[in-house]
């Protein structure tokens, strides 16, 4: 038996608690973050939370052609969709920036059954 085994387990638990704290802090930062996506040269702007929830959509009145309501409606729908996709790409980058280092710290597999906890297979 390894007489230092208890110390290793204590250190491992402490490391897990630190990682959990870092994860909670990263999630809080994502909750508070705001990301914008645009399309049509700024005709449509979408604001999305760091978690990916659409929070605001702004449409410049210049995007509206009163003489062709049907085509304008379709154009605006396309621009909104493009702006959301632009914002989603930014959210993905932000999430990777905030959460990526934590996933790497877990060995990329996460805790439950992923084999990601160093020294303990399956943890």
Is position 40 within any domain? yes
Structural domain span for residue 63: 29-102
Residues 95, 26 contacting (CB under 8 angstroms): no
The pair phi, psi for residue 112, each rounded to 5°, is -70, 105
Is position 9 within any domain? no
Assessment of whether the complete model's pTM goes beyond 0.85: no
pLDDT at 122 over 60: no
Instruction: Summarize pLDDT for 71-94 with one digit per residue, the tens.
Output: 899 999 999 999 999 999 998 888
What does the pLDDT read at residue 26?
A: 83
Is position 5 within any domain? no
Cross-strand bridge partners of residue 57: 46
**How many domains would you assign to the chain?**
1
* Residue 71 belongs to domain with CATH number: 3.30.1310.10
Is position 51 within any domain? yes
């Amino acid at each position: 038996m390894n007489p230092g085994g208890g110390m290793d387990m204590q250190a491992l638990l402490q490391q897990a608690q630190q990682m959990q704290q870092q994860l909670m802090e990263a999630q809080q930062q994502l909750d508070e973050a705001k990301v914008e996506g645009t399309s049509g040269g700024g005709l449509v702007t979408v604001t999305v939370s760091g978690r990916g929830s659409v929070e605001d959509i702004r449409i410049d009145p210049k995007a509206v052609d009163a003489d062709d309501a049907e085509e304008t409606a379709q154009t605006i729908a396309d621009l909104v969709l493009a702006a959301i996709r632009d914002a989603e790409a930014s959210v993905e980058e932000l999430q990777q920036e905030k959460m990526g280092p934590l996933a790497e710290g877990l060995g990329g597999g996460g805790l439950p059954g992923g084999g990601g906890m160093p020294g303990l297979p399956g943890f």
